[in-house]
A and B are shown apart, each in its own frame.
Chain A
């Protein structure tokens, strides 16, 4: 999956990929202060017969936990399941629905996206990317967007969460590469020097089909050097 980190102070963005095997669950947000966690399970590598047709990996399942509310929400490309204590309720992407309980606001927009917010705090948007069942390359997958990042506690962590309170970096030594418009540069971040490449990723919130291009500095090697530790440190055993 492609990660995009907005850096308003630099009027720019950072991006990176995390390559892992299907079935692996990654921790995206962990805020012990608010008792909120978000994990995502990787899918991908579509096969036809025994041939792997695509090596791309995506998020096919997202798990949201709000410990204070004793709430767990599982979002897949087919269903949305809300588990509140022992109660469990399942919704599909086929119908526009809204669910409101004290402090939980969930709106499903038919076959399109859902928004999820906990009280006055965190707000998330999940985009459903759907393809034809017999598409040789693509399979349905999910996009995950965080809003109101500032509302998380100072200790928020995770592959996305660690950037919620900003990141400082400096770019220097921009130089041409074989690919026009994709210069390489040196990024000074966390007292390390990384080689990064100018590129772009897409924001699908306003246009779920085409998306809107967002220029960014791409950090190679599973964001090594940019993220705290290595990406393996963010592998968790279960979606919850």
Chain B
């Protein structure tokens, strides 16, 4: 499963990130709610239980995170409230 994974940059609409039922009432920042939802969704996947390999959470100039994900996990994450896009990571060059 790890071999099939690649790094994606997941862009989120932070205004649409809401607490799930059991986290309601917690005054968590949006990115913590996002992580909660993401773990919840991925843990529901029966076939792919490999742990999430989170690289970064982006909080200031963009909203989202970078993680190593399988294509199945990417599909699952599309169910996240506020999900906008998943862009595969790529290499840029010095000029």
Chains A and B form a bound pair: no
